[in-house]
Amino acid sequence: MKKTIPAILALFFVLALASCNLPRADNNPTPVSDLSLTQAYQTVEAELTRLAPTATPNTLPPTSTPQPTLSIPTNTPLPPATPTPLPCNLAAFEADVTVPDGTVMSPGQVFTKTWRLRNVGTCTWTSGYQLVFHQGDAMGVPAGYAQALTAGTVPPGGTVDISVSLTAPMTAGTYRGYWRLREPGGQYFGLRNGASFWVQIQVSTAATNTVTLTAVAGESGTVRGDGHFTTSEIIVGDSSSNFGLQVFLSFNITGIPVTATITEVKINFSEYTIFGDPFGGLGCVGVYPQDYGVLDASDFYVGVPSGPNFEWCTAAALSEVVTDNDFRVQLQAKLGMSNRLQARVQFPNLATDGDGNADAISFTAPKLIVSYTTP
């Protein structure tokens, strides 16, 4: 701004000088040559040009740096997984039906070990398949002992209970024997992970005591789905009026010392009468722990039961005396804490089949056969 005012004054000065040469209003005007005017204008133009500020060119804001275009990769489809074909012969362990691991035995005690295996291969097991002692503690069987796996057939997906008779060693200690299967061509196979299955027992030299517990009359009985209950009969299934029937059993355990170690509990429900078709209409029957105290209508269990249990799915199975580890554990926990061991018997999947017929099992004298040792 300080340079602008002098520049304007200079411009006016130049113009004033030029005006001195303009024609005057007198009688003898002096003509102004075109050259003089031209020179004056050129002088003004030159001065304006000199004084004009240098124009600062407009600077446009910088344009955005173009971002690289993101290339979104397309998903390359994975090749379809090729399923691993199942082998012809393959087994999976399902359960220790008898003699769970750690069962205490007396020296020389004869026992039957039963495993439940499932056929998870693609070939049907026949009577040509064998159960073979593999290694470890033989427990009374000779080296290389083998017996038929089944008298019938076990298709893929089916299960089979395999039993072998064994004898506990005479010396106290822990013993384990390994077993596997053999197909008719002589090839051995085992469980899904390639392992063998086994039987493991604990031999104790302590004296073993056995006591039979019978369901206590007046404390055991039946509760019907409509709330009716009775201690005069022990019957499970459904009634002709389509109400479910559940059995409640109470066993007096005061005769077992509180210091006892329970080595085995066998269930003997083999004294019974069947009405209708309970197994065909209602499925399997199971026994479940339930501390019901004094029997009343509120004891009827609604819903599908959970927790430890033992199930029978045929009359033939119910006729057998079976070893149950769950009862052993429950009884051991009761010693010194209660004088009763109580349980409930019911068909877990269906309270009634709704056919208007009584489909039931009436028990005469449910029993538990308890073996134990004392310090």
Beta strand 197-203 with 103-105: parallel, antiparallel or unpaired?
parallel
Report the distance separating Cα 267 and Cα 369, nearest Å: 7
Amino acid 325: pLDDT: 87
Query: Do residues 361 and 272 make contact, with C-beta atoms less than 8 angstroms apart?
Result: yes
The confidence score (pLDDT) of residue 1 equals 44
What pTM value is reported for the model?
0.56
Q: How many residues does the chain have?
A: 375
Positions of CATH 2.60.40.10 in the chain? 91-205
- Which top CATH class is 91-205? mainly beta
Helix (H) or strand (E) holding 112: strand 110-119
CATH 2.60.120 residue ranges for the chain: 210-373
Mean pLDDT by 10 residues, the chain (375 residues): 44 44 45 46 50 48 52 60 80 92 88 95 96 96 94 95 95 95 93 84 88 96 96 96 97 95 93 96 94 96 85 95 91 95 94 94 96 87
Fold of 210-373: Jelly Rolls (2.60.120)
For residue 306, what are the CA distances in angstroms to 111, 202, 288, 312? 30, 30, 8, 16
Apex 293 CA angle, 288 and 299, nearest 5:
60
Distance CA 342, CA 215 (A): 9
Q: What does 158-196 look like in DSSP terms, one character per residue? A: -EEEEEEEEE--SSSEEEEEEEEEE-TTS-EE-BTTS--
Task: Give buried/exposed letters for 56-84 (b at 16+ CB in 10 A, else e).
Answer: eeeeeeeeeeeeeeeeeeeeeeeeeeeee
Among 201, 204, 238, which residue's Cα sits nearest to residue 223? 238
The whole-number pLDDT of residue 117 equals: 96
Say what the pLDDT of residue 204 is.
87
